[in-house]
Amino acid sequence: MILAAGAALLTSRVLGGELQKAGGPPEGYKLVWSDEFDKKGLPDSSKWSYDTVANATGWYNHEQQYYAAGSLKNSRVEGGKLILTARKEALATASDYGNQKYTSARLITRGKASWTYGFIEVRAKLPGGTGTWPAIWTLGTINKWPDCGEIDIMEQVGKEPTKISGTIHNISTAGTYGNGSSIQVPDACTKFHNYQLTWTSESLSIGMDGKIFHTYKNQHHGNASWPFDKPQYLLLNLAVGGDMAGPVDDTIFPRQMEVEYVRVYQKNPRP
């Protein structure tokens, strides 16, 4: 993102000798953290906080949203789902208002939960609408970007609603669009899908519904290309506009990104 109830068993494949299912982890992985979004109201504050750090100065990549904290209009749990909503509105009275004409939300686990290696699965339905830019991703807890490393498990923009991208960013990819690939998903904005990351000491594999569409391997050349031996935290957000999303169609709002669950598994986790 910083550039410049369980699913049916739909598909399976062998990944590094381990069976990976459309909904669920590879063999031998155990659940270590999750949010099933089963308590109505604001997101669970023991698991999530709001990232509002760049509201006043303006968000990265020329994004146009103001990220609201603790606003049910922008982030709420309802009907067993987390709902992130982007709206056309200006919160001019907010102390950190930065001239934005859209509001949305950006949830993070920083300071509450982070992991090194594992299988991350987020079941979500995307908003669609020209100008939207939803993302499911991770950032390292150590150092600043790009030194910390970034794993984009899912990115999509409303002007290309069927294209889902997975991308890796680090020092070695700085100045580029990152190391990534994409997959075509015709119903990404009308149906829920499982967006997945399998992260080991040797590789990062990004997939959807059990189908891996991008793998980044550890070349053992040091931190510049592999900062992924250190903890990363999770981010869920719905951006508006920006370099990747492009112009915004003001007639689309409000738009929602819905998340049924977030689950993190690890192999042989420490007790």
| Residue among 44, 45, 23 nearest 119 (CA) | 23
150 catalytic residue (yes or no): yes
CB 186 within 8 A of CB 156: no
Residue position matching structure tokens 């999509």: 156
Conformation bin of residue 54: beta by default, left when phi > 0, alpha when psi is -120 to 50: alpha
Would you state the pLDDT for residue 22? 79
Per DSSP, what are the bridge partners of residue 121?
A: 196, 263
75-85: average pLDDT = 98
The CATH number assigned to the domain holding 78 equals: 2.60.120.200
Kindly state the tokens that stand for 240. Answer: 């508006």
pLDDT of 217-265, one tens digit each?
999 999 999 999 999 999 999 999 999 999 999 999 999 999 999 999 9
* Average per-residue pLDDT for the chain: 93
Residue 9 lies in a domain: no
Domain that holds residue 60: 14-267
Q: What is the total count of domains within the chain?
A: 1
Would you state the pLDDT for residue 269? 74
pLDDT of 177-189, one tens digit each?
999 999 999 999 9
pLDDT of 148-178, one tens digit each?
999 999 999 999 999 999 999 999 999 999 9
63 catalytic residue (yes or no): no
Establish how many alpha carbons lie within 13 A of residue 218's alpha carbon, considering only the half-sphere containing its beta carbon.
15
Would you state the pLDDT for residue 9? 30
In percent, the amount of the chain with pLDDT more than 90 equals 90
Where does the pLDDT of residue 24 fall: very low under 50, low under 70, confident under 90, or very high at 90 and above? Answer: confident
- Among the options 18, 36, 78, 155, which is catalytic? 155
Identity (one letter) of the amino acid at 245? A
Identity (one letter) of the amino acid at 159? K
| Residue among 232, 251, 31 nearest 121 (CA) | 31
132-155: average pLDDT = 97
Would you state the pLDDT for residue 63? 98
CB 254 within 8 A of CB 13: no
Residue 2 lies in a domain: no
Would you state the pLDDT for residue 68? 98
38-45: average pLDDT = 98
Residue 5 lies in a domain: no
Would you state the pLDDT for residue 19? 39
Distance, CA of 219 to CA of 7 (rounded, Å): 34
Where does the pLDDT of residue 16 fall: very low under 50, low under 70, confident under 90, or very high at 90 and above? Answer: very low
Residue 104 lies in a domain: yes
Where does the pLDDT of residue 195 fall: very low under 50, low under 70, confident under 90, or very high at 90 and above? Answer: very high
- Among the options 27, 36, 63, 150, which is catalytic? 150
Distance, CA of 96 to CA of 141 (rounded, Å): 24
In percent, the amount of the chain with pLDDT more than 70 equals 92
CB 152 within 8 A of CB 135: yes
Would you state the pLDDT for residue 23? 78
Whether residue 18 is predicted with pLDDT greater than 80 in this model: the reply is no
Whether residue 93 is predicted with pLDDT greater than 70 in this model: the reply is yes
The four Cα atoms 25, 190, 252, 237 give a dihedral, to 10 degrees, of: -10
Residue 122 lies in a domain: yes
Residue 6 lies in a domain: no
pTM here is 0.92
CB 241 within 8 A of CB 231: no
Whether residue 270 is predicted with pLDDT greater than 50 in this model: the reply is yes
Residue 1 lies in a domain: no
Would you state the pLDDT for residue 14? 37
Would you state the pLDDT for residue 1? 63
DSSP letters of 2-63?
Answer: ----------EEEETTEEEESSSPPTTEEEEEEE---S-BS--TTT-EE--TTTTT--GGGB
Where does the pLDDT of residue 268 fall: very low under 50, low under 70, confident under 90, or very high at 90 and above? Answer: confident
209 Cβ contact list (under 8 Å, min separation 6): 7, 10, 11, 22, 23, 193, 194, 196
Would you state the pLDDT for residue 197? 98
Residue 7 lies in a domain: no
